[in-house]
């Protein structure tokens, strides 16, 4: 810094020693040379900056609609009887097998009723045995003409009544046993426990959901489409499903089956589109956000979108922007609002108009002054 100051002082002294006319000519030539150098440096910086026009050129004629992952088989498990929860061996996230015990209710009263039913069956069978022996004796006496036909008929009627009583008691005992089985709630199929809405001691009532179980092998994506879009959907269209939460190599999936429900929601006037996902997708769960892309359903809308290269986007703290090169060749950082990404392009929702030139190298654009 001292050397620079000394040089400037000596240069000023030498310049002041010159006559007036030469001094003015030197100053004019120095200023002109400086302006030329500045312009040349600016031209070299802007001319060497690669740009691309923002617009929809090359964008796929697709339209995306938000959806949600659903389980094809999802069951809200409830009890058929009332009772207090006394055992809860599973929790949310557990994998269960078909028939596995999910929870138990207090079944003491039902078990006592079942035991009473079995005792009544034993009593009816004992009465049947007595009636059977009595009927056999009456038949022997009738053969020897010791009793009348009426007495034999009464013995036979008693025998048949005891048989019917045994059958009735067996049915009653079976109903009591079946009723006692309702106090044990089991898994309807192999699946995963999604939610447990009770704790030990809670009172279960018929129809109240206690647990939610779903089958992870059968998942689908459901999206609500406006009526105008749904009616234009081609019968053989092949929509694609995007799962942004998955890694890039598994984020795009081709559905196995597509179903458009024939009814409309009277409140939203939308139709539900269901797309079955391939089995065995790791990391996919019901409730996950998904996006459905419909090919060729809105060509005009797709063409009107503005896209920029992903590498041209600048992210600084909470600001997202791109360098837009103006008519004067100078790049200016402009804040933008981004939409979805598709390949190496990103949709710009606001901040850049179609046709404006965007710098491909933000770092090089930042050095241009």
**What's the pLDDT at 62?**
66
Number of Cα atoms under 13 Å in the Cβ half of residue 223: 25
Q: From CA 322, how far away is CA 334, in angstroms rounded?
A: 6
**What's the pLDDT at 304?**
59
**Which of the 8 DSSP states describes residue 310?**
G
**What's the pLDDT at 35?**
35
CB pairs under 8 A, 24+ apart, for 365-368? Answer: 365/49, 365/323, 365/325, 365/331, 365/333, 366/323, 366/331, 366/333, 367/45, 368/42, 368/45, 368/46, 368/49, 368/330, 368/331
**What's the pLDDT at 22?**
59
Q: Mean pLDDT of residues grouped by 10 in the chain (369 residues)?
A: 46 58 55 39 52 65 83 94 94 94 90 87 91 90 89 90 91 86 93 94 92 94 89 78 89 90 89 92 92 66 70 87 87 86 81 86 83
pTM comes to 0.57
Q: From CA 338, how far away is CA 348, in angstroms rounded?
A: 5
Above pLDDT 70, what percent of the chain? 82
Specify whether domain 79-105+183-214 bears CATH 3.30.360.10. Answer: no
Q: What is the CATH number of domain 107-181?
A: 1.10.287
In CATH terms, 305-367 corresponds, of 3.40.50.12780, 3.40.50.2300, 1.10.10.10, 2.40.420.20, to 2.40.420.20
CB pairs under 8 A, 24+ apart, for 323-329? Answer: 323/358, 323/359, 323/362, 323/365, 323/366, 324/352, 324/356, 324/357, 324/358, 324/359, 325/46, 325/49, 325/51, 325/357, 325/358, 325/359, 325/365, 329/42, 329/43, 329/46, 329/47
**What's the pLDDT at 4?**
43
Cα torsion 121, 122, 123, 129: sign:
positive
Return the CATH architecture of domain 64-72+218-302.
Beta Barrel (2.40)
**What's the pLDDT at 56?**
60
- Sequence spans of domains, the chain: 64-72+218-302, 79-105+183-214, 107-181, 305-367
Q: From CA 277, how far away is CA 243, in angstroms rounded?
A: 11
Contact 277, 220 (CB under 8 A): yes
What is each CA distance from 347 to 21, 275, 336, 368, in whole angstroms? 62, 25, 10, 26
């Amino acid at each position: 810094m001292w050397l620079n100051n000394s040089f400037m002082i000596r240069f000023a002294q030498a310049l002041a020693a010159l006559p007036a006319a030469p001094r003015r000519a030197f100053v004019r030539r120095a200023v002109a040379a400086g302006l030329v150098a500045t312009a040349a440096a600016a031209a070299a910086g802007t001319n060497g900056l690669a740009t691309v026009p923002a617009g929809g050129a090359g964008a796929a004629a697709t339209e995306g609609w938000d959806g949600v992952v659903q389980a094809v088989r999802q069951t809200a498990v409830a009890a058929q009887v009332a009772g207090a929860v006394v055992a809860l061996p599973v929790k949310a996230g557990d994998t269960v097998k078909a028939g596995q015990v999910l929870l138990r209710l207090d079944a003491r009263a039902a078990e006592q009723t079942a035991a009473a039913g079995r005792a009544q069956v034993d009593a009816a069978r004992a009465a049947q045995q007595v009636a059977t022996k009595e009927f056999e004796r009456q038949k022997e006496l009738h053969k020897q003409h010791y009793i009348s036909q009426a007495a034999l008929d009464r013995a036979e009627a008693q025998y048949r009544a005891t048989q019917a009583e045994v059958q009735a008691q067996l049915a009653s005992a079976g109903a009591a046993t079946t009723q006692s089985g309702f106090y044990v709630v089991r898994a309807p199929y192999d699946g995963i426990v999604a939610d447990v809405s009770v704790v030990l001691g809670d009172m279960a009532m018929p129809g109240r959901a206690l647990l939610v179980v779903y089958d992870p092998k059968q998942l689908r994506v459901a999206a609500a489409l406006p009526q105008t879009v749904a009616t234009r959907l081609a019968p053989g269209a092949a929509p694609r499903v995007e799962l942004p939460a998955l890694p890039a190599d598994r984020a795009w999936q081709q559905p196995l089956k597509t179903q458009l429900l024939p009814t409309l929601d009277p409140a939203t006037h939308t139709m539900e589109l269901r797309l079955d996902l391939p089995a065995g997708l790791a990391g996919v769960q019901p409730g996950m956000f998904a996006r459905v892309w419909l090919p060729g359903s809105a060509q005009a809308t797709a063409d009107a979108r503005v896209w920029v290269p992903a590498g041209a986007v600048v992210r600084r703290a909470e600001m997202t922007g791109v360098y837009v090169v103006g008519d004067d060749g100078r790049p200016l950082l402009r804040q933008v609002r981004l939409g979805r990404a598709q390949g190496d392009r990103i949709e710009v929702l606001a901040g850049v108009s179609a046709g404006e030139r965007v710098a491909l190298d933000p770092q090089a654009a930042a050095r241009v002054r």
